[in-house]
Amino acid sequence: MGKNLKMKAARAGLDMSQKELADAVDVTRQTISAIERGDYNPSIKLCIRICQALHVTLNDLFWEEN
């Protein structure tokens, strides 16, 4: 699993900090940072909450292209 640049870009596109996204999905800022770095594989439930907070789909953020 590589860095999640799509998530970082979607968050930045909404002018949202890691802390703001973390608060919106009820995790720590460190968790958001770890997901963006590719150091943490979030549960599907957390993926869905992140997508809802960023107004994107699971495919937009988490689908890996071959």
- For the whole model, what pTM was predicted? 0.88
What pLDDT, in 10s, does the model give residues 4-58?
Answer: 889 999 999 999 999 999 999 999 999 999 999 999 999 999 999 999 999 999 9
Residue 1 has pLDDT above 70, yes or no: no
Domain boundaries, the chain: 5-62
Q: What is 5-62's CATH topology?
A: 434 Repressor (Amino-terminal Domain) (1.10.260)
H/E element holding 6?
helix 5-13
Residue indicated by tokens 């150091």: 39
Q: Which amino acid, one-letter code, is at 60?
A: D
What pLDDT, in 10s, does the model give residues 24-34?
Answer: 999 999 999 99
Give the Cα separation of 49 and 58 in Å (integer): 10
Q: Which residue has the higher pLDDT, 53 or 63?
A: 53
Q: Which amino acid, one-letter code, is at 40?
A: Y
Residue 66 has pLDDT above 70, yes or no: no
Tell me the HSE value of 38 on the side-chain side, using a 13 A CA sphere.
7
Q: Are 59 and 12 in contact (CB under 8 A)?
A: no
